[in-house]
Amino acid sequence: MSTLTFDSLNPATGEVVGSHPKHDAQAVHEAVARAGAAAEWWAALPPEERRRRLLDYKAVITRRLRELAALVHEETGKPVGDATLEIVLAVTHLDWAARNAAKVLGRHRVATGMLGLNLAATLEYLPLGVVGVIGPWNYPVFTPMGSIAYALAAGNAVVFKPSELTPGVGVRLAELFAESVPEQPVLQTVTGLGETGAALAADPRVRKVAFTGSTATAKRVMAACAENLTPIVAECGGKDAFIVDADADLPAAADACLWGAMSNAGQTCAGVERVYVVDAVYEPFMRELSERAAKVKAGQDYGPITMPAQLDIIRRHIDDATKSGKVVTGGPDSVRAPFVDPVIVADVPEDSPAVREETFGPTITVRRTRDAQEALELANASAYGLAGTIFSRNARRATQLARAMRTGMTAVNSVISFAGVPALPFGGIGDSGFGRIHGADGLREFTRPKAVSRQRFALPGMNLTSFRRGPDELERLIRLVTFLHGRRKR
Ligand code: NDP
């Protein structure tokens, strides 16, 4: 590997998948400059033309699904089927963003109220210009596309810095975009290590940064952005809880829990990490769960740990959990680098690292709780707040619990289902970050609201914003406002 390029490796085999430039600050700044011109061109296109181009991009990705899935498989190690699923989801979001941008963001009239009787008011959401997207490796198509598709649909140009572990996928996404939009570099990919992302965040011409990754790096990105008052969207993972209530369909809950925790080798920001099961169904649920877990194997049902350094964290959490808790499935020997078989440990203290810190591996802790309320309280006692799951046959009770969960998203009787509903915003609170991708909120995230109020006629005897305003006008105003707002509500 020369100093000017770096290799991406297949984490399962160690083989080189591709070699990519390490774009330095100068190269990043040049890309941002090109993006500035492209942003103007893209924003000036009629909305229906942007929509047409984005739907065409969607079709291009769909037609290349197998090829792209093979590349995702090579760079992340995940099975081709899982790679296919994430691309399908990304395509669904691209479709929604393209079709809904004009409706959500377009100029529309808003009511002006009694005091603004003589005004007409309009609101629209205008593009920001250049958006920087810093992406992770765990879902190298789906996750960045949650920002890229919505930022593009909102009329921005995007400079995308993929994770150094999945640069080939990032490069391919931009190449495919150029098939639909050959005129201008509206979507560019810059490759490199952390410094490349840092240069992107520090460029004052980048109007917003959409970051997905760890909380610690989000803070560094935010500090760089603070220099220029550049706003950021931060999607920083979580420690998501899975609650099994007394009336839950236990086989379905166990099945969903296992998949939510172990699929993608647990490297899912909204994956299941903590499980709370109410006392009444604890034993039968654990039987269902452990029987299923015994049949799931790394390297067969899911791929390797993509980032080598992650193995140390996973190992530390397994050691910590198995020392203090009761092993249900697997244990320290489940780590067969780069693979990790499922690990389930019960009764791990709530203040231990395995329960508090993000593991990002195929491991879960399980705890018995008195009832669903106690489960919810434990679920909410986390610094993170990304997503969670409730299993219960009582739809009303489940919805109440879901609404009370201190997270951005909750799935009921399914796992991570919110991610496949493009109209639903995605994002968290607390250490999980802030801002939203997906849905109408995700479109607005990459815009600035533009408000215009126009006086249609002068209100006789009510010229309030003038030095010629007299006591009579003020008196009329006091009478009007007393009539409108002075009465107490009964
Ligand atoms: P990071 O947060 O370090 O990296 C995420 C992205 O930020 C990558 O593209 C990375 O580039 C880039 N980056 C790194 N340093 C900087 C910087 N100073 N300025 C700008 N961009 C930067 O995550 P890791 O990939 O190292 O994973 C670490 C942990 O993060 C995992 O253990 C997991 O807990 C969590 N994570 C959460 C994800 C989520 O979906 N929320 C996704 C991935 C990880 P590069 O890869 O080149 O260093």
The per-residue DSSP string of 361-417 comes to SSEEEEEEESSHHHHHHHHHSSS--S-EEEE-S-HHHHHHHHHHSSSS--EESSSSG
* pLDDT recorded at residue 48: 97
Among 75, 86, 164, 235, the active-site one is: 235
Task: For residue 162, report the distance from its CA to the centre of ligand 1, in Å.
Answer: 10
**269 classed as catalytic:** yes
Examine residue 338 and say whether the peptide bond preceding it is cis (omega within 30 degrees of 0): yes
Query: Which of 75, 148, 211, 217 should be mutated for ligand 1, with most atoms under 8 A from CB?
Result: 217
Task: For residue 219, report the distance from its CA to the centre of ligand 1, in Å.
Answer: 11
* pLDDT recorded at residue 2: 39
Task: For residue 454, report the distance from its CA to the centre of ligand 1, in Å.
Answer: 47
Task: For residue 118, report the distance from its CA to the centre of ligand 1, in Å.
Answer: 52
Instruction: Extract the tokens encoding 429.
Output: 């609170």
For residues 431 and 384, give the distance between their C-alpha atoms in angstroms, rounded to a whole number.
5
- Apex 26 CA angle, 21 and 28, nearest 5: 65
**30 classed as catalytic:** no
Nearest ligand 1 atom to the CA of 236 is 41
- pTM attached to this predicted model: 0.96
Among 74, 269, 273, 357, the active-site one is: 269
DSSP state of 151: H
For residues 424 and 10, give the distance between their C-alpha atoms in angstroms, rounded to a whole number.
33
Nearest ligand 1 atom to the CA of 270 is 40
Nearest ligand 1 atom to the CA of 216 is 2
Nearest ligand 1 atom to the CA of 360 is 34
pLDDT by residue for the chain (490 residues), tens only, comes to 335 999 999 999 999 999 999 999 999 999 999 999 999 999 999 999 999 999 999 999 999 999 999 999 999 999 999 999 999 999 999 999 999 999 999 999 999 998 899 999 999 999 999 999 999 999 999 999 999 999 999 999 999 999 999 999 999 999 999 999 999 999 999 999 999 999 999 999 999 999 999 999 999 999 999 999 999 999 999 999 999 999 999 999 999 999 999 999 999 999 999 999 999 999 999 999 999 999 999 999 999 999 999 999 999 999 999 999 999 999 999 999 999 999 999 999 999 999 999 999 999 999 999 999 999 999 999 999 999 999 999 999 999 999 999 999 999 999 999 999 999 999 999 999 999 999 999 999 999 999 999 999 998 888 899 999 999 999 999 999 999 999 998 8
Task: For residue 460, report the distance from its CA to the centre of ligand 1, in Å.
Answer: 61
Task: For residue 326, report the distance from its CA to the centre of ligand 1, in Å.
Answer: 32
Query: Which of 214, 340, 407 should be mutated for ligand 1, with most atoms under 8 A from CB?
Result: 214
CA-proximal residue: ligand 1, atom 4 (nearest): 213
CA-proximal residue: ligand 1, atom 37 (nearest): 213
* pLDDT recorded at residue 3: 56
CA-proximal residue: ligand 1, atom 38 (nearest): 213
Nearest ligand 1 atom to the CA of 433 is 41
Task: For residue 54, report the distance from its CA to the centre of ligand 1, in Å.
Answer: 28
Nearest ligand 1 atom to the CA of 269 is 40
Q: Rounded to the nearest 10 degrees, how much is the dihedral formed by the CA atoms of 218, 219, 221, 224?
A: 170
* pLDDT recorded at residue 489: 84
Task: For residue 183, report the distance from its CA to the centre of ligand 1, in Å.
Answer: 32
Instruction: Extract the tokens encoding 341.
Output: 């078989």
- Apex 376 CA angle, 321 and 291, nearest 5: 50
> Is 143:135 a contact under the CB 8 Å cutoff?
yes
First to last CA, the chain: 75
Residues 6+ apart with CB under 8 A from 341: 296, 297, 298, 330, 334, 362
Closest CA to 401 of 238, 236, 248, 258: 248
Query: Which of 22, 163, 310 should be mutated for ligand 1, with most atoms under 8 A from CB?
Result: 163
> Is 128:147 a contact under the CB 8 Å cutoff?
no
CA-proximal residue: ligand 1, atom 48 (nearest): 194
Residue ranges lining ligand 1, Cβ < 6 Å: 134-138, 143, 161, 163-165, 193-194, 197-198, 201, 212-214, 217, 220-221, 235-237, 269, 307, 310, 313, 358, 360
CA-proximal residue: ligand 1, atom 16 (nearest): 194
